[in-house]
Amino acid sequence: MVIYEIPYGGWIYNKDEISIRELIKCLKVGWREKLVYRSNIVMDDNSNDYKGFIPQETVILDLKGDIDDIFNRLNRKTRNKIRRASKIGVKIRYLSMSELGDFIRISRILKKRIGQPCYEEFYYKVFEKYVTEHRIQCLAAEYNNEIISGGILIANKNFSIGWIPGRKADIPNNLYQNELLFWEHIVWSKRNNIKYLDLNGLHQKKLPHLARLKLSFSKDIRRFYAKNYNRVRYKILSSIQNIVKKDI
C-alpha cells in the first residue's frame, strides 16, 4: 500500500443524495487490499457525517489582510524569533526544479530518522506538473551557505499546505529557521492570493515540539476524519508478514 504522503482526500459529492458510507460501499476492497480514507478539512465541523471515523487535527491560518497585518497578528515571541533568524544570518531560498535535489537530500535524512519512505521520483513529478502554474514551491532555510531545513508547499486557489518537510540533524535550537520558513510560507501563499495556509497536521502528544511551533502561528484547529477498511484475510496476511519480517 502506497499513499504518497497525501494527507487529505474525500469525494466531491452532493450530501443530499448520498452519504460517505454509501460512497465507500461502492468501492470493492479485495482480500489483499486495504482502503485508506481521509476526508478533506472540515471547515464547518459537521461531525455527524463522520460517525465512526477517527478525528484528526490540523492547524490553518487565515490570510485575510495585508502581509503586515498578518505579521502583527502573530504573537510577540514568534515575531521576535522570525526577526532573530534573519538577523543571525538564516536565509530563505526559493529552489527551482534543477535545485530540488538539494532539498530532497535533507528530506531523505529526516525520513530515515523517523522511519518513513522518501518518494523522490514522485516529488519531482508533482513539482514539474505544478511549478509553471505557481501552485508548488520548495523553500529552503540556509545557514552558513548550507541548507539546514526546508519544505515543499503545494496549493490550490483556497489552500496552500506544507506538504513535504526536510531537516538536517543536530541543528542548534536558537537559529529559529523553522519560524522563518513558516513565515515565508505565509509570504508565498499571500503573494499567490491563497486564502488559507494549512500547517499539515497537529499531533500535540506525539510531536509536542512541532505542535507548539504550529500553534504559535495560529490557534485555529480544524478536524479531518480517517478510516481504514480491509477484510479479515488482509489482517491475517499482514500479521504473518510482520512476524516473518521480525524473524528475518
Which pLDDT score, from 0 to 100, does residue 46 have? 65
Which pLDDT score, from 0 to 100, does residue 175 have? 96
What is the residue extent of each domain of the chain? 20-57+225-247, 64-194
Question: Sign (positive/negative) of CA torsion 72, 76, 80, 82?
Answer: negative
Which pLDDT score, from 0 to 100, does residue 196 have? 96
Sequence-distant (≥ 6) Cβ neighbours of residue 105 within 8 angstroms: 147, 166
Question: Which amino acid, 68?
Answer: D
Cell of residue 195, nine digits: 486564502
- pLDDT < 70 regions, the chain: 1-4, 31, 45-47, 231-248
> Sheet containing 221-230: which strands, arranged edge to edge?
34-38, 221-230, 54-62, 196-198, 159-167, 146-155, 136-143, 91-95
- Contact call for residues 82 and 123 (beta carbons, < 8 A): no
Which pLDDT score, from 0 to 100, does residue 1 have? 45
Of the candidate CATH numbers 3.40.630.30, 3.60.15.10, 1.10.10.920, 3.20.20.60, the domain formed by 64-194 belongs to: 3.40.630.30
- Residue matched to cell numbers 516529488: 123
Cell of residue 236, nine digits: 491475517
Cell of residue 31, nine digits: 482480500
Identify any residues that bridge with 208 across adjacent strands, giving them in sequence order.
none
